[in-house]
Structure 1
Amino acid sequence: MTDTTIAAEPAEGAIESAERANAVQAGGTGAFRRRRERFMEGIGDGVAVLAAAPELVKSRDTDVMYRQNSDFFYLTGFLEPGAVAVLTPHDAGHRFTLFVRPRDPERETWNGRRAGVEGARARFGADAAYDVAELDERLKGLVEPADALWYGVRADGGAMDARMLKLLAGFRGTRPRAGKGPWDLRDPAQLLDRMRLIKEPGELALMREAAELAARGHLAAMRAGRPGVGEWEVQALLDQTFRAHSATSGTSFPAIVGSAANATILHYVTNDRRIEEGDLVLVDAGADVGFYCSDITRVFPASGRFTAPQRAVYDVVLRALRAAVAAVRPGAPVTDVHEAARRELVQGMIDLKLLEGEPEKLIEDETFKRFFMHNTSHWLGLDVHDAGPYREPDGTPLPLQPGMVLTVEPGLYVPEDAENVPAELRGIGIRLEDDVLVTEDGHEVLTRGVPVDPDEIERICAR
């Protein structure tokens, strides 16, 4: 570290926050039970099998930090690896069955406590629970009465995918004579993606907390990201701010801290450059609280004031952000958000002399993608790019509904080697991103805790 070393202060109320998040994750069995019931209504006479996320090895015997599969968590609240959930609507004694790792004092000494079979029933509301070693023995009987098997084949499914395909193939051979067993394999995402789109009050409470925490981290970055500080030090400050909040908090994705021309790289995560005088610094970072994500992008001048060219580009993107946020309202097609941002950005590109021509023609020909190449929004929730379709099966854009949460993130990126553009704009990258909830009468910006007005940002940097 240099003499510009920066540090975060622990957040007030950190313990209380951790308790709330833990209550939602492990103890809030009512919310998970209601979701399971809704899901089982959707699968009718089918049976659903969901597997926990696999454990991943970073190198040799060092594991990647474990994170539960979002769909599995959404329906069960169970956080351990090696588990399988079976949802059987037709069997009252096994509507929700969990196969889990058994208690093992020796392994728990090394790797932490397990819920075990007893905990799966008592703490997670399973109607029945078994040692996962019994999965092959019991699975056929649970699935046999179903007309359809709901299981999502995954790229990392491995042995579990093979097990389920073998099971289905076996039923294909015996069903003509026995009259039992599923014919169809269906993806649970057909139902879960739609369910996860509409956030429940408990989910929104955690998302508001994650947005507030992310705003706190961005404010800290603005105050600390001065010339001489490394991008990596700003990243460390974000990590520390989030983790200081509570034991259950962290980053929702690897933070982007791009100074100068690094800000024109959309997913820049190297974060190894030292910030210099006159640089803009783009920070794209979010917090995770109780498994729920936030995602904010802000840009600030390391030296405390925007230059005239920097401010000109910033103002274009800010107009696009405000226009796009204004388009978020119930009943509006989700594509309206992108179209509103795109109109402002294309006109701004013309004003800045980055492009020439009529806006409609530049949009039709997608000429603007030279400087704005991504969509303006994505769903937000348990995942940063959360589950949910953007179009109906007939291709029409999905209408926004109350309870949906999406990002709004227009940007304008001028590569430092761009040709036929004003020299003073080269190497400037601006992206501004807020998290927006669709409400009954419009929208709520969850991330208002960190300013976007450039004059206010200059005041924060000056402090």
Structure 2
Amino acid sequence: MSEEQKQADNRARSTTDELRAFIREGWAARRPTVQGPSPAARYAADRRALLSAAYPRQRLVVPAGGLKVRSNDSDYVFRPHTAFAYLTGLGADREPDAVLVMEPFDDGGHEAVLYFRPLADRDSDEFFADSRYGEFWVGARPTLEDVELELGVTARHVDGLVDAVAKDAGQVTVRVVRDADRELTERLDDARVANGAERETLAGSDDALAHAVSHARMTKDEHEVEQMRAAVAATREGFEAMVAALPDAVANGRGERWLEGTFGLTARHRGNGVGYDAICAAGNHANTLHWIKNTGDVTEGELVLIDAGVEVDSLYTADITRTLPVDGTFTDAQREVYEAVYAAQEAGMAAVRPGNRFSDVHDAAIRVIAEHLHAWGLLPEGVSVEDTLDKEHGQYHRRWMVHGTSHHLGLDVHDCALATREEYMDAELRPGMVLTVEPGLYFKADDLKAPERFRGIGVRIEDDVLVTEDGCENLSDAMPRSADDVEAWVQRLTAR
């Protein structure tokens, strides 16, 4: 909250000594809120151990981030920074302003210390008068003891953070995940410099830590895979609710918003919320790749492309796309485009196996797309499939398939984003990686190079795939994909 907002805060204040005394009295003893270690705790400890080994005798600082003002004195729902969630196991809306510090031992290894704002005593003003943090307003936070039991780390009050991070900063290398909390990073920078660090070296030193945590997430552990399965299962429920709601979306107008809201209900009920803004793109809107306005009507006879994922409480998200015939039956032209995309996705999935490169998935899918475009006569005269696949002088097919076919998936919908191109695109696929496979074809309504029968048709099919020891597992395989199965799915769920 800005200084201007603090000064303009015009809410009533409970200021009399008599009222303060009255509010502090007559409360039952609090019941324990933490019964034992979190299921994620031991996995988070293993992740920290790998990071510890990579940075011996260095102090590592990973903020959760702070609350962000939405409007005036209202905050957005808090979501901790991904690196913090990964290394602590905390998800949902926990814990604003918290910071994980990995304090180095002289002989190697680290002590994990979580600095956070613990539950205030009931005789404090914060308890009843602080609208941003007070228990009366936003509920009870954990105690220091709760966090130590839940996470298996040392817990300390956040008020001691800056001094703890900056001490002997001239002698001990301190690394901070800078983008997690920019305001805090500036304060830590000042304190580090005051304790002997050189300001011009800070950012470069810190970037390596953020990169390391991002790259480490590329291969999921057992707990992460379990969370991904839960996210996919919840997303399937959300899609089935949207399919069942198609008649209402048509009848009520502004049907894209109706579908978005239907999915949002499932996402909030089954998880933490949506993993990203859902795309509910009917008709020609499907040809705008990131159509999140969702202001259009849903009309019988058209397709609706829905790209959505539930983020579960641990913050792992699914990312699934289905393109649906609104009235339950593809037209001949819609089916022709759909089956081309389906064939491309099948080829991409076949390339997901250990030993292949990440880029092989796109190469396999895009070849099928190029073959269909060539067969339809859409590539320039004299251009073969091999010509258009030439990355230096071709790529004509990208007029109708502009995006990549795959990305990593996990705590972020586009996970591991700080990995280098070599670490990402050229990486060898390994068991435990979770990828999307999502080819598409997009024929804008005003594209005069597209056949008239295809104009206004956009199709994408996307599934979440786990690399296994001998191939891959489609985590979202329970959701129909083939044209015939999709038609049957829509017809069954919309029958009334």
Q: Aligning the two structures, in what range does the TM-score lie when normalised by the shorter sequence?
A: 0.7 to 0.9
Instruction: After TM superposition, give the deviation of residue 141 of structure 1 in Å.
Output: 2.9
Task: Quote the Cα distance in structure 2 between the aligned partners of 1:404 and 1:94.
Answer: 27
Letter of the structure 2 residue corresponding to residue 297 of structure 1 = T
Identity %: 34
Partner of residue 330, structure 1: 354
- In the alignment, the residues of structure 2 paired with residue 65 and residue 185 of structure 1 have an alpha-carbon distance, to the nearest angstrom, of 27
Does 2:256 align with 1:241? no
Which amino acid is the alignment partner of residue 42 of structure 1? A
Report how far residue 206 of structure 1 moved: 1.3
Aligned to 1:309: 333
Once the two structures are TM-superposed, the CA of residue 139 in structure 1 deviates from its matched residue by 2.4
1:266 is the counterpart of 2:289: yes
1:114 to 123, 131, 141: 141
| Residue type of the alignment partner of 2:305 | L
* Structure 1 equivalent of residue 115 of structure 2: 99
1:271 maps to a residue whose letter is: N
CA contact (8 A) 1:52 1:69 kept: yes
Counterpart of 2:444 in structure 1 is: 415
Identify unmatched segments of 5+ residues in structure 1: 1-21, 176-180
The answer for the alignment partner of 2:95 in structure 1 is 80
Note the alpha carbon deviations across 1:369-407, whole angstroms, 9 max, x for none: 2111111111000111111536436x9711111000010
Count of matched residue positions in the alignment of Structure 1 and Structure 2: 431
Q: Kindly report which structure 2 residues correspond to 1:100-179, keeping only aligned pairs within 5 A, or say none.
A: 100-104=116-120, 105-106=127-128, 107-127=134-154, 129-141=155-167, 146=172, 148-154=173-179, 157-172=181-196
Q: Which segments of structure 1 move beyond 6 Å, counting only runs of 4 or more?
A: 22-25
Structure-2 separation of matches of 1:131 and 1:449:
46
Report the Cα offset of residue 63 of structure 1: 1.1
Shift of 1:183: 10
Question: Aligned partners of 2:434, 2:191: CA distance in 1, in Å?
Answer: 38
- Is residue 196 of structure 1 aligned with residue 217 of structure 2? yes
Contact 1:376–1:410 (CA<8 Å) still a contact in 2?
A: yes
Distance 2:232 2:305 in 1: 18
**CA 1:57/1:23 → structure 2, altered by over 3 Å: closer, same or farther?**
farther
What is the DSSP-based 3-state SS (H/G/I as helix, E as strand, rest coil) of the residue aligned with 1:219?
helix
CA distance in 1, matches of 2:368, 2:37: 41
Q: Residue type of the partner of 2:428?
A: P
- 1:189/1:137 CA distance change after superposition, 3 Å: closer
Maintained 8 Å contact 1:390/1:397: no
Q: CA, structure 1 residues 392+44, in 2 after alignment: closer, same or farther (shift >3 Å)?
A: farther
Deviations 1:228-252 (A, max 9, x none): 351111112212223333xx44221
Partner residue, 1:444: 473
Corresponding residue of 2:9 = none
What is the Cα deviation at residue 278 of structure 1? 0.7
Q: Which amino acid aligns with 2:302?
A: D
| Rg larger in structure | 2
Deviations 1:111-142, CA, capped at 9 Å, x for gaps: 11112333332332223x32212222332337
- Provide the residue aligned with 1:31 in structure 2: 43
Q: Aligned to 1:48, what secondary structure does the other structure show? A: strand
Tell me how far apart the structure 2 counterparts of residues 174 and 336 of structure 1 sit (CA, whole Å): 44
Q: Distance in 2 between matches of 1:185 and 1:212?
A: 37
Instruction: Report the aligned-residue RMSD.
Output: 2.6
Select which of 372, 389, 392 maps to 2:422.
392
Higher relative contact order, chain-length normalized (CA < 8 Å, sep 6+): 1
- The separation in 2 between residues aligned to 1:23 and 1:189, in whole angstroms, is 32
SS in structure 1 opposite 2:307?
Answer: strand
3-state DSSP of counterpart to 2:489 = helix
Between 309-318 and 351-360, report the one with greater CA deviation.
Answer: 351-360
Q: Report Cα offsets for 1:230-287 as digits up to 9, x if no partner.
A: 1111112212223333xx4422111111110011111111112221121101010111
Contact 1:263 1:430 in 2 (8 A): yes
Q: Which residue number in structure 1 is paired with residue 230 of structure 2?
A: 209
Worse-matched range after superposition: 213-222 or 296-305: 213-222
Q: What is the CA-CA distance between 1:363 and the residue it aligns to?
A: 2.4
Counterpart Cα distance in 1 of 2:335 and 2:355 = 35
The alpha-carbon distance between structure 1 residues 183 and 143, as it changes in their structure 2 partners (threshold 3 A), is farther
* Equivalent position SS for 1:103: coil
SS of the residue 2:100 aligns to: strand
Secondary structure, in 3 states, of the residue corresponding to 1:88?
Answer: strand
1:75-100 deviation per Cα after TM superposition (whole angstroms, max 9, x unaligned) = 11342101111102316997111211
Distance (Å, rounded) in 1 between the aligned partners of 2:264 and 2:162: 42
- Deviation track 1:294-338 (CA, whole Å, cap 9, x = no partner) reads 111001111221111111111110010000000001111100001
